[in-house]
Amino acid sequence: MAEVRKRRGRIQLHLDTDERAALLMIVEQLAPSLGQVRRTVPVAYDDPEFQAEYDRWVRPEVERSREADLDVIRDCIGSGEDVTVLTEEQALAWARGLNLLRVTAGGLMGVEEDGWEQQADDALRRSPEFRVLLALGLIQEELIAVLEG
């Protein structure tokens, strides 16, 4: 299982070949839905006119920032190394990118708010989408723990 450690002040991400392949597949499947799934679209205003102006000026930067975070993930996965040493900046990009992917996956599953997992039925818990959310969440949780510690 993917693992994040901090050794001698350096953040190490451990992913074997299969984990890298699976994670890359998840990134490539979910990335096109960023900005399409409702929870991934930043809403700043209730007024449609103000929101349109916000989208015109801010959304391109939000999208560039998201893509940059996903590129960091892709680059690390593409290194072909089982252990990747991450800078703090790269680890933060991973945490943000994984969060975006989790929100996208949840949105595609119809998740609209926190706490949904308590009402999830057995069929949903056995679905591949649920496993994707768990896997992304575990890696993200480990990254955050290492960054905080």
pLDDT digits (tens, 9 = 90+) for 73-115: 999 999 888 999 999 999 999 999 999 999 898 888 777 666 6
- Which residues have a Cβ under 8 Å from the Cβ of 64 and sit 6 or more positions away? none
Residue 101: closest CA among 18, 19, 40, 13: 40
- In this prediction, residue 113 carries a pLDDT of 66
pLDDT in tens, 107-136: 887 776 666 666 666 776 777 778 888 889
- In this prediction, residue 116 carries a pLDDT of 64
Cα distances (angstroms) measured from residue 108 to each of 22, 51, 52, 138: 19, 23, 24, 19
pLDDT in tens, 48-60: 999 999 989 998 9
Length of the chain counted residue by residue: 149
Provide the domain count of the chain: 1
As a whole number, mean pLDDT of residues 10-25 equals: 93
Q: Which domain holds residue 131?
A: 3-148
- Which residues have a Cβ under 8 Å from the Cβ of 140 and sit 6 or more positions away? 94, 95, 98, 99, 102
CA 24, CA 26: separation in Å to the nearest integer? 5
